[in-house]
Amino acid sequence: MHLDRATGWCHGVRHCPSPNFNQRPAGEISLLVIHNISLPPGQFGTGRVQQFFQNALQRCEHPFFEEIAGLQVSAHFLIERDGAVTQFVSCLDRAWHAGVSCFDGREGCNDFSIGIELEGTDHEPFSDAQYRALIELCRLLQGAYPAITPERVCGHSDIAPGRKTDPGPAFDWQRLRAAFITC
């Protein structure tokens, strides 16, 4: 895995460009937001998250898709259960993952954050392969964007409390934090 700083795209991962992005208003990249997602909820390896971020979800496939198919959202990265990493939006651009949000008194976290989706649910343990890929990706991003200090790695539920619950209680923050200390 290697990050091309000129383009904001990682090499050595899958690319699945999403149309759901725009410019960061100030170019700042200083926060990392961790999420979970699975489509349909609780089903893994379906390829539907990729379709969702490309506005290509088929409404008729599942009742839940009827609800969400019209949303235009994205994240910079998705890490599937087998540890495969897919990038949807350049790190230099603003992906649409956080929604109404606030970190340390600042609203609109999409403006200055990178969003990483872990394929999963709030209550199922994430896989070892996902932690390995997440730690590698976090180290890569922190190397490229030093403003992302360990204190500025958070969950979606931290910046949208009461509205969002991901990455959920099954996410092992200790495991991620320990990796930062040893890097």
Residue 94 neighbours by CB under 8 Å, 6+ apart: 21, 22, 23, 24, 25, 110, 111
* Positions 41 through 80 that interact with Zn ion (CB under 5 A): none
Window of 49-57, 106-114, 137-145, 166-174 that interacts with Zn ion by CB under 5 A: 166-174
Angstrom CA distances, 149 to 11, 141, 142, 158, stand at 23, 10, 7, 16
Total residues interacting with Zn ion, rule: CB under 5 A: 3
Nearer Cβ to Zn ion, position 40 or 146? 40
Distance CA 83, CA 73 (A): 22
Task: Examine residue 156 and tell whether it contacts Zn ion (CB under 5 A).
Answer: yes
Residue 166 neighbours by CB under 8 Å, 6+ apart: 34, 35, 36, 37, 122, 155, 156, 157
Distance CA 80, CA 137 (A): 13
Nearer Cβ to Zn ion, position 60 or 169? 169
User: Catalytic: 117?
Assistant: yes
Q: Figure out which of the listed residues 116, 153, 166, 171 binds Zn ion, where binding follows CB under 5 A.
A: 166
Distance CA 151, CA 133 (A): 20
Name the active-site residue from 28, 80, 107, 117: 117
Nearer Cβ to Zn ion, position 136 or 158? 158
Cβ 44 to Zn ion shortest distance, Å: 17
Cβ 166 to Zn ion shortest distance, Å: 4
Cβ 144 to Zn ion shortest distance, Å: 23
Helix 173-181 to helix 128-144 angle, to the nearest 10 degrees? 50
* Positions 8 through 47 that interact with Zn ion (CB under 5 A): 35
Question: Which residues here bind Zn ion, judged by CB under 5 A?
Answer: 35, 156, 166
Q: Which residues are catalytic?
A: 117
